[in-house]
Amino acid sequence: MSLNDLTEKITRREAKLAVIGLGYVGLPVAALFAKAGFDVLGVEIKQERVDKINAGLSPIEGEEPGLAQLLAEQVTQGRLRAAADYETLRERDVILIDVETPVDDQHIPRYEALRAALTQLAPVLKRGALVIVESTIAPRTMDTVVRPLLEEGSGMRVNRDFYLGNCPERVMPGRLLTNLSSLSRVVGGGTPETAQAMIALYRLIVQADLDAADWITAELVKTVENAYRDVQIAFANEVGLICEALGGDVWTVRELVNKSPQRHMHLPGAGVGGHCIPKDPWLLAHGIQGMDVPLRMVPTARAINDGMPAHMVDLLSKALAQAGVSLAGARVLVLGYAYLENSDDTRNSPSAVLVRLLESLGADVRIHDPYVEGMQGDVVEAAQGADAVVLMVRHQAYNALDLPQLRAAMRTPVLVDGRKAVDGRRARELGFLYWVVGAASPAAAS
């Protein structure tokens, strides 16, 4: 099948689609293409997830507007189904790959899931099919990893027997459907003609710019945009540390800085988590491995942001000391374990780092999160007998904490706020020793 024939099938919605990996990206992508009128097959290695999806139930918890209903509708109407067997992909015209691409402790990409998907797809790849990698990958990965695995495993050649592109997703938990449909995408094709075929496909679900590019440009854009965010957050965090030392308040400083034209200082906080920002700067850096390009800003930003949970421990230790309590043996309630507000996504959670540090120092740690299974329940009950509460995630439920009840339940009224979610003045009026990241301590201010 020629690329023109495939594009016509896509335009008529007659092309058969597949999505490999039905997680935070793949599942909503599959549901949106099903809604657009395509026959969509999802391949997922976790059988329990396959069974749940085929029952019309979303495996993604947290506040995810519209996803559960859309999934149920498309499964009921027979346009979307899931399977664990790659053999089912033999007749698929377009295959989207949405698997995880983490980095290891040495900041090297771990492409086990991507390699496994490509290795199993290659022998069943239909001649004339279009394969699109939506996963975020290091620059040069399309040329050095994806293309060779598909060509060697299928016995076919790209741009002759099949077509290959990458179109990195731009999503955030809590806004998956909205982001997929309303944010622009960079469409990287192996040839300009492949990019145009991809645009014809994405135009059916995306109401925003679709910019044609080549593989390397698409790889760079995605990793650069998240590295940019990481660097900006690191700057905000470092300013917060400066403000703490000087007796200032980063929250006030940020507000006033941003009144100046062309300024947009990011929010400081207790740490940076998720599947993208902690790893994508390292993917960008990996792309130039072996080349004579010195890296300074990316590693420094990563070090600053990775150090914020440890800084929260330091603030907590000082706050407890002010109350005459040692961190060792203190009962500490951590509020929020997901990396993002109103989500159940715990990938690279700063709270996980905080908890490990606290436990290593002898603290008795409890965790509450309204969205994470096994951590739910009543906040006030969880705070019974606590010496301190550390707020790590600005879940909506925590913005409306009943401070008097919380204070009454605690043994020692220490409250350390890593997201400025609490009204500090009211907390202090109620008797809390209230500390917030990026501002002068109560002791220093007195």
Active-site annotation, residues: 222, 276
Per DSSP, the residues of 372-418 read: STTS-S-HHHHTTT-SEEEE-S--HHHHT--HHHHHHH-SS-EEEES
* Local structure of 167: helix, strand or coil: coil
Direct distance between the N- and C-terminal alpha carbons of the chain, in angstroms, rounded to an integer: 76
For residue 132, give the nearest of 81, 207, 202 by alpha carbon.
Answer: 202
Question: In the numeric block, which tokens belong to residue 140?
Answer: 């040069």
**CB-neighbour burial class of residue 71 (10 A; exposed 0-12, middle 13-18, buried 19+):** buried
Q: Strand 39-43 and strand 80-83: pairing? A: parallel
* Local structure of 229: helix, strand or coil: helix
Q: Rg of the Cα trace of the chain?
A: 24
Q: Whole-angstrom Cα distance, residue 135 to residue 98?
A: 5
424 contacts 335 by C-beta, under 8 angstroms: no
Per DSSP, the residues of 284-313 read: HHHTTTTSS----HHHHHHHHHHTHHHHHH
Distances (CA, A) of 323 to 59, 339, 407: 43, 29, 14
Question: What does the angle CA 44 – CA 46 – CA 52 come to, to the nearest 5 degrees?
Answer: 85
396 contacts 342 by C-beta, under 8 angstroms: yes
Distances (CA, A) of 204 to 36, 162, 245: 7, 22, 53
Q: Whole-angstrom Cα distance, residue 119 to residue 289?
A: 25
